[in-house]
Each structure stands twice: as structure tokens, then as C-alpha cells.
Amino acid sequence: MARKFIVGGNWKCNPASAKEANSLLKEWKKGLPNVDKSKVDVVICPPALWMSTLGQSIEGLGMEVCSQNVGKTDAGAFTGEWTAGNLLDLGIKWTLIGHSERRTKYGETDADVAEKVGKCQDIGVNVILCIGETLEEREGGKTDEVNKRQLGAVIPKVKDWDKIVIAYEPVWAIGTGKVATPDQAEETQAAIREYLKSAVSAAVADKVRIQYGGSVTPENCAELITKPNIDGFLVGGASLKP
């Protein structure tokens, strides 16, 4: 089955100001052709406070705005959070969930990730679900075990797999300049697809898009994308360049 490529740009807490963010998008407008949505989906994840103000410029490039995070509750007394419904109210149809920085720096658990995915499924928000192992886990031969555990927590919450994209991000490769070799990435993502086949169904395993993330650059993406189980990229620092 031919799967449509998907590329995400996760800006994290960058750049330092909205002015710089607008300047970057203006540079993109001058130097990039508009995205052909029939061939690839492109989502950009700016800092939360800028999602609305930058939305028109991002969409003008044929891209979509994606939140970097979402709450695990509905509306209520949850200071500092926002809900899946809040995102839709702003016209934002995508969110990341489970990024390794959320898991490692803010204590987000597999159960938290599952609750967030469930809320997005309930209301129809598309999710880029981030999974991946630490260096210690990879060196301990636990890569597949970790990915299965993180996916297994979420599977019971998913009703519509068309609204799920999986981003495999080896934690040891994020922002380090290290990158899994194309063969390492392909082997791991093939194992993820095989797990979905047994845990969900062959049809779901065949259609779900799996991105690779972890120090993706223009130099290494050309070979990575030739691999049959890599359906796109989740890009960090490289997505902040003109």
C-alpha cells in the first residue's frame, strides 16, 4: 500500500521571538514552492503562544499548524493546560503527543500519553504519537520492548487509525547530531509495523504512517526516505533554518 509522506517541523521553544518566527516564514515563502498536498502532508509545531498568530502564514505555504502537546482532560480547573477541544476551536487539527522531552523532562507516563490520545480520538484531532528508546535501552537490546510498551499503552484508546501517525524517535539521536543509520531506522520501524500487525490488524499495520525523527538533516534524509517503512520525518533543529 502506498502511504502518503508526512513531514513535521517541531520548533520546540524556538526561535526566541515571534518576530524571528515571522521572518523565518517569510524566508520560506520566498525560497520554497508551496507544498503539494496531494503528495505530502507537512505540519509545523511552533511554540503554543504563537500557533494562532503564525497560522495564516504557515497555511499559506500549504502546511498545517500542529500543537506540540495537549492536555489529558476536558475543560476544567487545570491551570496551564489546554484541551483537544481548545485546539479544534482554534482550527488546529494536529498535535504531537508523547515526545521524549515530555516523557523525560516532565514525567509524562505511558498512561498519560494514552489518556491524551483518547481525548484526541474522541474529538477528531490528528495525533503524531512519539515513541522511542534511550541510549541505555538501545545498548541493552530493549529497543523493540520499549516501542511495544509505549504503543501497547495507546492501542486500546485508538478508534480511528487514520488519525494516528507514529513518529519513531530514538532519544539518543534527538538534538545530538547522532542519527540511526538507514538500516537501523528501517529495522526498527519494520518491527513497529510488525507489532501493529499482531496487536491490531494487518490492514492497520499496512496503512499507518511511521516517521523517523532524530537529528534529521537535508544530508541524511535522502537515503532514509528510500526505506520502505519510513514514511516521512519529524524534524527538530533543521526545521528552523531558512
Active site residues: 99, 169
CA distances from 30 to 23, 70, 138 (A): 11, 32, 41
Which grid cell is 150? 509505549
Within 13 Å, how many C-alpha atoms sit on residue 30's CB side? 6
Question: Is 105:132 a contact under the CB 8 Å cutoff?
Answer: no
3-state secondary structure of 163: helix
In the block, residue with C-alpha cell 509522506? 5
| Distance between CA atoms of residues 193 and 64, nearest Å | 26
Which grid cell is 215? 537529528
Question: Is 170:150 a contact under the CB 8 Å cutoff?
Answer: no
Element (H, E) at 199: helix 182-199
| Distance between CA atoms of residues 130 and 168, nearest Å | 6
Within a 10 A sphere around the Cβ of 87, how many other Cβ atoms? 24
| Distance between CA atoms of residues 235 and 172, nearest Å | 15
